Structure 1
C-alpha cells in the first residue's frame, strides 16, 4: 500500500474525511520547516513543503509528473541502463572466454588504483576477500589493497 502525505492547514472534519477517504495521511503544512527530515512516502500533495518537491512524486490533479522530476529520473535510468548493458556484455565475454576474464582480473590487480572508481575498488577488495567499511573513502580502500 502506498504512503501518501497531504500537506494542509485545513483540519476541518469534512476536509479530513475527504482526504482520508482518498487514501491521504494529513500533515500540517505550516509545521514543516526546511531543516526537517523528509518523511519516507510514495506521494505528496496539497501545500507541499520545498524539501519534498524534488525528492517525492507530487500529486497533480491532471496526473502529470513535473518535468524536472521526469528529466532527473529519465537521466538516472539511462545511466543505469548503460551500466547494465556494459556489465551484461562483460559477463557474456567472461562466460565464453575464461582467458578474457583472467586478463581483466590481471588488469585490475596491476592497475593504478587511483584510476579506479570506488565501486571497482570495493569489487576488487571483495574478490580478494578483504573486508572494508561500506562508507570507506577511496584512500582507505587503496591502502587496504596495497597492504
Structure 2
C-alpha cells in the first residue's frame, strides 16, 4: 500500500472523508519546520511544505469512471450489495461515505 501524505490545516469532515477514501494520511503543514525530519512517503497532496515537494511526487487523483461517479446516488443497501458482489467485507453499520470509500479503494487496487 502506498503512503500518501495529505497536508492540510484544520481539515473539515469532508476533507477527512476524502482522505479516508483515498487512503491518505493527514498532516498539518503548519506543524513542519525546516529543521524537522522529512517523513518518508510515496507521494504528497494538498499544501505540502516545499521540502516535501522537492523530494516526493504530487499525488494525482485517478480519473473517475462512470460507475464511481454514480456511487453517491446509490442507497446504502445497493452499495452493500456491490461490496458483497466484489467479496469485500464491511461493517453492516457503516455509513454511506465509508461504503463508497471501500468501493473506490477496490477500484484503485491493482487487478491480478
The TM-score with structure 2 as length reference comes to: 0.50
Query: Residue 51 of structure 1 aligns with which residue?
Result: 51
Label 1:11 to 1:49 Cα distance change in 2 as closer, same or farther (>3 A): same
Q: Look up the SS of the partner of 2:57 in the other structure.
A: coil
Q: Look up the SS of the partner of 1:54 in the other structure.
A: helix
Q: 2: distance between equivalents of 1:46 and 1:3?
A: 14
1:10 matches 2:16: no
> Which protein has the larger Cα radius of gyration, Structure 1 or Structure 2?
1
Q: 1: distance between equivalents of 2:20 and 2:2?
A: 13
Residue 35 of structure 1: CA displacement?
1.2
Considering Cα pairs closer than 8 Å and 6+ residues apart, tell me whether 1 or 2 has the greater RCO.
Answer: 2
Query: Residue 40 of structure 1 aligns with which residue?
Result: 40
Q: 2: distance between equivalents of 1:20 and 1:30?
A: 21
Residue 17 of structure 1: CA displacement?
1.1
Asked if the contact 2:41–2:56 (Cα under 8 Å) also holds between the matched residues in 1, the reply is yes
Q: 2: distance between equivalents of 1:16 and 1:54?
A: 25
Q: Look up the SS of the partner of 2:55 in the other structure.
A: coil
Q: Look up the SS of the partner of 2:58 in the other structure.
A: coil
The TM-score with structure 1 as length reference comes to: 0.39
Q: 1: distance between equivalents of 2:15 and 2:30?
A: 17
1:75-122 CA distance string (max 9 Å, x none): xxxxxxxxxxxxxxxxxxxxxxxxxxxxxxxxxxxxxxxxxxxxxxxx
Higher helix share: 1
Q: 1: distance between equivalents of 2:18 and 2:62?
A: 18
Query: Residue 109 of structure 1 aligns with which residue?
Result: none
Residue 28 of structure 1: CA displacement?
0.6
Asked if the contact 2:4–2:59 (Cα under 8 Å) also holds between the matched residues in 1, the reply is no
